[in-house]
Amino acid sequence: MAIPIIESWQSYFEHMDEGLGSSYERIILNRKLNEIAETYGIKSVLETPCFGFTGISGINSISMAQNGMRVTILDHHRHRLEKIKRMWEMTDTEVEALFHENYSQLPFEDDSFDMSWNFSALWFVKSLEDFLKELDRITKKVIFLCVPNRSGLGFISQRLLTKQQNKTYCYDNIKPKKIIPILKKLAWEQVESDYIDCPPWPDIGMSKEDFLKKFGLGSVVGEKKDSFSILDFYSGKDPEFVNKMLAYSWFEQKAPGLVKLFWAHHRYYLFIKKK
């Protein structure tokens, strides 16, 4: 889904099944996060906001924590934060999970983290400029921001279908033309930008297994619809989870940029602090 799941986010904490689409997305994102961490020597990470998209909230930084980084996540919803804490405990992974309502004044000292980031979560920041100024203040090395691909077919179609719900969050916050100038003014250099999460299915609000079968591609996922939860991988129950998801990455690896412009689900922007 290209549009935040406002009402049904709690259901994912109950059944834990994120489906094929979100499971693939998690693995591709994990690879990028750990690549950034290795390249820039990241030891401490802040993820905030940590909500704003489909699937289980607050788990995108688990991979970095399991690779030895100190992770802090911050959320504006107390009940969701308690669920996030319990979910991290299920994977036996340490995190500092904090409640804070005001993203314009983050409760951290200057230069508290090597890296600050979020994934499709800028919707609920009331003042994008104030929030990015705070990230500038508390971050030493890297700011990594992922936003929905606004030219993607899935994003366009879902936005048209959810006009009333659109009023509950700010679309301007995910526009690169809003984000990039602010960070450049704050002396951050954009060193990389690309599409990410570009599997062989569109960003649609239906089961990816059902979509592929409608087009005669059922063999891609098999006849049996499996339950998918990356928590099984994080907790060590399914060590082959990564390989199963990467089996679908052939399209992401080979698709030309023009195809990704209309098909990729997200786009990322990587900034480093100018010396």
Residues 194-244 pLDDT 10s: 999 999 988 865 555 555 555 555 555 555 456 788 999 999 999 999 999
Q: In what order do the strands lie in the sheet with 113-119?
A: 96-99, 70-75, 44-47, 113-119, 139-148, 266-273, 188-196
| Contact between 94 and 62 (Cβ < 8 Å) | no
> pTM of the full predicted structure?
0.90
**pLDDT exceeds 80 at position 8:** no
pLDDT digits (tens, 9 = 90+) for 16-43: 888 888 899 999 999 999 999 999 999 9
The SS3 call for residue 148 is strand
pLDDT value for 165: 52
Phi-psi region of 37 (alpha: psi -120 to 50; beta: other; left: phi over 0): alpha
Residue 2 has pLDDT above 60, yes or no: no
% of the chain surpassing 90 pLDDT: 68
Q: Where are the domains of the chain?
A: 9-273
pLDDT tier at 164 (50, 70, 90 boundaries)?
very low
Report the alpha-carbon distance of residue 136 to residue 273 in Å, rounded: 8
Q: 9-273 is classed in which CATH architecture?
A: 3-Layer(aba) Sandwich (3.40)
pLDDT in tens, 63-98: 999 999 999 999 999 999 999 999 999 999 999 999
